[in-house]
Amino acid sequence: MTPAAGDSATGQRWDPERYARNARFVADLGAPLVELLAPRPGEAILDLGCGDGALTEALVARGALVVGVDGSAEQVAAARARGLDARQADGEALDFEAAFDAVFSNAALHWMRKADAVIDGVWRALRPGGRFVAEMGGAGNVVGIRTALLAALERRGIDGQAVNPWYFPSPEDYRRRLEARGFEVRSIALIDRPTPLPGAMADWLETFAETFLKLVPAEARAALAKEVSEALRPSHCDAEERWTADYVRLRFSARKPA
Ligand code: BEZ
């Protein structure tokens, strides 16, 4: 899923074909979150960071009336190609007013570093009694990958942390923000979810960590991705060349009081 303000904010590009090849698991693993949302036929639902709409479609299949928003024009086009109502919007500046029974978000909020602005926009978008159900990268997410990336950049004299596009909060941090805005938090927890990748670690890096790879010249990026992959091989790759990402999810359900 996609940075809040589109590609220019982070240097991360969202190529729907590359995403479909390397990131289909993001939607495939979203089923428990859909169950937590428990969409009902006829409900108005906002899918915040809908990406190419793979999971939005699952909500529509349950009879909900779904609007998807995403920062990436390319991903919005891919979602529209599925026949979905998808719109380009900045997740940190949502401008819906009491329009939805629920706001749903899978694997997108960690690209939106202005968490309080996101929560404000979700609050405004919800009707009284509306639910905010989401999953994102949480504290400790991809810590091995991040450490290897930052170390490889540091060996080149580059401070990768300065461009970090990701926000992986603890449950305590996110609960405090939700409650400060007035939400009732029904559940919030970290879930360790080592995630098998469909390809190599270099593919994951190219798909999701472009902000960091772009700190070196184009001709040096493949070597950087290879160096990071080799550093991760002992911990993230098995003898059959199957790669795993060290994902930790923060999953929560909150409610705007009626
Ligand atoms: C995640 O879903 O946890 C994630 C995706 C892209 C970059 C970093 C983390």
- Quickly list DSSP for 182-218: TPEEEEEEEEEEEEE-SS-HHHHHHHH-HHHHTTS-G
- What are the tens digits of pLDDT across the range 204-257? 999 999 999 999 999 999 999 999 999 999 999 999 999 999 999 999 999 999
Kindly report the protein residue whose alpha carbon is nearest to atom 4 of ligand 1: 137
Please indicate whether residue 23, judged by its CB atom, sits closer than 6 Å to ligand 1.
Answer: no
Q: How many residues are recorded in the chain? A: 258
Mean pLDDT on 127-150: 98
What contacts 55, CB < 8 A, 6 or more positions away? 27, 30, 34, 47, 106
What band does 20 get if pLDDT is binned at 50, 70 and 90? confident
Give the pLDDT score at 1.
52
User: 50 CA distance to ligand 1 centroid (A)?
Assistant: 14
CATH of 7-142+165-198+246-255, one of 1.25.40.20, 1.10.357.10, 2.170.190.11, 3.40.50.150: 3.40.50.150
Q: In what order do the strands lie in the sheet with 126-137?
A: 85-88, 65-70, 44-48, 100-106, 126-137, 244-255, 184-196
pLDDT value, residue 160: 97
**Distance from the alpha carbon of residue 164 to the mean position of ligand 1, in angstroms:** 12
Q: Which of 206, 247, 249 is the best mutation target for the ligand 1 pocket, counting ligand atoms within 8 Å of the beta carbon and taking the most? A: 247
The one-letter amino acid code at 142 reads V
Is the distance from the beta carbon of residue 137 to the nearest atom of ligand 1 less than 6 Å? yes
Local confidence band at 2 (pLDDT 50, 70, 90 cut-offs): low
**Per-residue confidence (pLDDT) for residue 6, from 0 to 100:** 45
134 lines ligand 1 (CB under 6 A): no
CB-ligand 1 contact for 212 (6 Å cutoff): no
- Per-residue model confidence as pLDDT tens digits over 33-77: 999 999 999 999 999 999 999 999 999 999 999 999 999 999 999
- Is 51 near ligand 1, meaning CB less than 6 Å away? no
**Banded model confidence at residue 5, pLDDT cuts 50, 70, 90:** very low
pLDDT tens, residue by residue, 21-34: 777 777 788 999 99
CA-nearest residue for atom 1, ligand 1, is 137
Which sequence spans correspond to the domains of the chain? 7-142+165-198+246-255
